[in-house]
DNA sequence: AAAATCCAATTTGAATGCAAAAATGGCTAT
DNA sequence: ATAGCCATTTTTGCATTCAAATTGGATTTT
């Protein structure tokens, strides 16, 4: 089905920053870039608008959603709640094999921390969080989590990671893994919340772009 | 914008049960019923599919999503998390005026309980929950909450309310209002969770339809 | 008689066309 | 020279059209 394909591709373009926040999205240009007609593209844009990644202006086309400071705060707030819930549920339902998988990812992440390889570290980090959410065994939760994290990730142009914060994050991840292994749902929930609160502060303090009026950026 | 209008109308048809779960949705029929062409309808269906209200079958059209027992359980699980979070945030941010509003709705609900007016009771009930979520002041949270509750509401054809359960629900609402007035975020969060857990049990025990194979229901 | 196959008719998926709204550029007037 | 206004052009929104896939039934074959 062409429509799904288009949604995926455009979403990827948005998440990769190929279409920067606030950029207008001329249908015609994207059509010829994707080699499709306007109909499936417009369907895709409507879906992405429902997901909150695109903003539809009546008779004036669509633009990549731009996030205010408040939006970011709200997203993190919800993300905290979702991950805390996921953590609780995961403790009840996670299998030993899944725990082992998370532990392995954690170990790999620790190695990348040792190497100060930020990119690989982030990859493992994300994998772990997603694994915990998946272990909750709740597709509805997973879906909302994906939607929220996608919007958050969209904004992370560059988050400067101070040595201090990084060390704290690793420490928190130790606690996360520990709580998971003990299947301590309450503990895990609290740690995840704190972990995300810190990440939020990190992102918000960075300013995460968006304040600059890159008004007429184009999606070329 | 016609597209938004159509999404709203079709969503209402789905929530009102005018299009029953599992029913096929022939585009042509709905088009002439809504007096529009297929293009905006198809856009709307894609959006509703993204919301989880409609299921898209490749080359075979769309049908109203049908919920399994597991889906229902998952939805309630997430709803619990969202309302608990909303309750916590509301306690921090709710104004005295908003509390008074909830209190008034609560009083009205109690009256309807006295009259055993289930319909009006439900109306107030829903208003209260929505007011608490709104008081959290987090549009992202509100959006997800709406999406989840819409899907839940879709399934409750008839939930037989036993006198026992009803009394308990009212009692819980007393506690909810109380916690809100004391701005006891932890307490409110717990009460809301328990309240929703009970509602879930209520719905699940009722079987909430869906088990019967109303396979070829039509959206006429 | 039952099953498989083929053909017509309906329905979906995508492209194109057309009308309306908005943006752009040029022109005039002050 | 600049501000305001009008015409042109572009872009959006929706309807229509065309092609492909599916469905249902009739025919044929075993």
pLDDT single digits (tens) A91-107? 999 999 999 999 999 99
Chain D bases having any atom below 7 Å from a protein CB: 11-17, 21-23
What residue spans define the domains of chain B? 2-64, 69-206
Q: What is the mean pLDDT of residues A197-219?
A: 67
Three-class HEC string of chain B = CHHHHHHHHHHHHHHCCCCCCCCEECHHHHHHHHCCCHHHHHHHHHHHHHHCCEEECCCCCEEECCCCHHHHHHHHHHHHHHHHHHHHHHHHHCCHHHHHHHHHHHHHHHHHHHHCCHHHHHHHHHHHHHHHHHHCCCHHHHHHHHHHHHHHHHHCCCCCCCHHHHHHHHHHHHHHHHHHHCCCHHHHHHHHHHHHHHHHHHHHHHCCCCCCCCCCCECC
A201 CA from C30 C1′ (Å): 56
User: What integer pLDDT is reported at residue B220 of this predicted model?
Assistant: 43
1.20.58.1910, 2.60.40.1220, 1.20.120.530, 3.30.465.10: which CATH number matches B69-206? 1.20.120.530
Residue with the bigger pLDDT between A113 and A162: it is: A113
Strand C reaches within 7 A of the B56 CB: yes
- What is the structure's pLDDT at B210? 55
A98 CA to C15 C1', in Å?
Answer: 47
Determine what percent of chain A is predicted with pLDDT higher than 70: 92
pLDDT of residue B205: 82
Q: Which two tokens stand for residue B186?
A: 């932890």
Identify, with chain letter, the residue nearest to nucleotide C12 (CA–C1'). Answer: B59
Q: Is A83 exposed, middle or buried (0-12, 13-18, 19+ CB in 10 A)?
A: buried
Burial class (CB in 10 A: 0-12, 13-18, 19+), A78: buried
Closest CA to B91 of B177, B179, B192, B183: B183
Interface of B with A (CB under 8 A): 1, 3, 39, 42-44, 46-47, 49-52, 56, 58, 71, 74-75, 77-78, 80-82, 84-85, 89, 138-141, 143-144, 147-148
* A220 Cβ contacts chain D strand, under 7 Å: no
pLDDT tens-digit readout, A33-56: 999 999 999 999 999 999 999 999
- Print pLDDT tens along chain B (220 aa): 688 899 999 999 999 989 999 999 999 999 999 999 999 999 999 999 999 999 999 999 999 999 999 999 999 999 999 999 999 999 999 999 999 999 999 999 999 999 999 999 999 999 999 999 999 999 999 999 999 999 999 876 667 788 999 999 999 999 999 999 999 999 999 999 999 999 999 888 877 655 444 444 445 4
What pLDDT shows up at residue B209?
A: 58
Whether residue A218 is predicted with pLDDT greater than 90 in this model: the reply is no
All residues at 6 or more sequence positions from A205 whose CB lies less than 8 Å from its CB, including other chains: none
How close is the nearest chain B Cα to the Cα of A81, in Å? Answer: 6
CA–CA separation, A7 and A11 (whole Å): 6
Q: What sections of A53-184 are H helices per DSSP? A: 69-93, 96-115, 118-135, 139-155, 163-181
**CATH classification (class only), A2-64:** mainly alpha
Closest nt by CA–C1' to B37: D15
Which positions in chain B touch A53 (Cβ < 8 Å)? none
Among residues B101, B44, B90, B78, which one has the least CA distance to residue A46? B44
Residues of A with Cβ-Cβ distance to B143 under 8 angstroms: 52
What mean pLDDT do residues A66-81 have? 95
pLDDT at B204: 86
* Residue B147: C-alpha distances to residues A48, B8, B212 (Å): 15, 13, 25
The Cα B123–Cα B120 span in angstroms is: 5
Closest-CA residue of B relative to A73 is B138
Mean pLDDT, to the nearest integer, of A10-34? 94
Lowest mean pLDDT among A62-66, A155-159, A208-212: A208-212
Q: Residue B161: its pLDDT value, please?
A: 83
In this complex, the answer to whether residue B3 has its CB under 7 A from any atom of chain D, a nucleic strand, is yes
- Domain pair A2-64 / A69-206, same fold: no
Tell if B161 CB is < 7 Å from nucleic strand C: no
Question: What dihedral angle (degrees, nearest 10) is formed by the CA atoms of B105, B136, B46, A32?
Answer: 150
* Span A174-197, pLDDT tens digits: 999 999 999 999 999 999 999 999
Cα-based distances in Å from B7 to A42, A192, B80: 15, 36, 27
Predicted ipTM?
0.91
**pLDDT given at position B203:** 85
């Amino acid at each position: 089905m062409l429509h799904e394909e288009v949604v995926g591709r455009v979403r990827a373009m948005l998440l990769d920053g190929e279409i920067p926040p606030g950029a207008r999205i001329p249908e015609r240009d994207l059509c010829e870039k994707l080699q499709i007609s306007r109909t499936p593209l417009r369907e895709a844009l409507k879906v992405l608008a429902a997901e909150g990644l695109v903003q539809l202006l009546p008779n004036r086309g669509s633009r990549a959603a731009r996030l205010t400071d408040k939006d970011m705060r709200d997203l993190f707030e919800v993300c905290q709640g979702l991950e805390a819930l996921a953590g609780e549920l995961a403790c009840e339902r996670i299998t030993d094999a899944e725990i082992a998988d998370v532990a392995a990812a954690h170990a790999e992440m620790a190695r990348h921390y040792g190497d100060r390889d930020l990119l690989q570290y982030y990859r493992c980090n994300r994998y772990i969080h997603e694994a915990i959410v998946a272990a909750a065994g709740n597709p509805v939760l997973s879906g909302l989590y994906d939607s929220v994290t996608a919007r958050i990730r969209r904004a992370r142009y560059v988050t400067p990671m101070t040595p201090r914060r990084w060390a704290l994050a690793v420490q928190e991840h130790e606690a996360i893994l520990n709580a998971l292994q003990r299947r301590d749902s309450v503990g895990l929930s609290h740690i995840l919340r704190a972990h995300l609160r810190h990440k939020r502060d990190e992102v918000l303090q960075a300013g995460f772009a968006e304040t600059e009026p890159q008004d007429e950026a184009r999606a070329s």
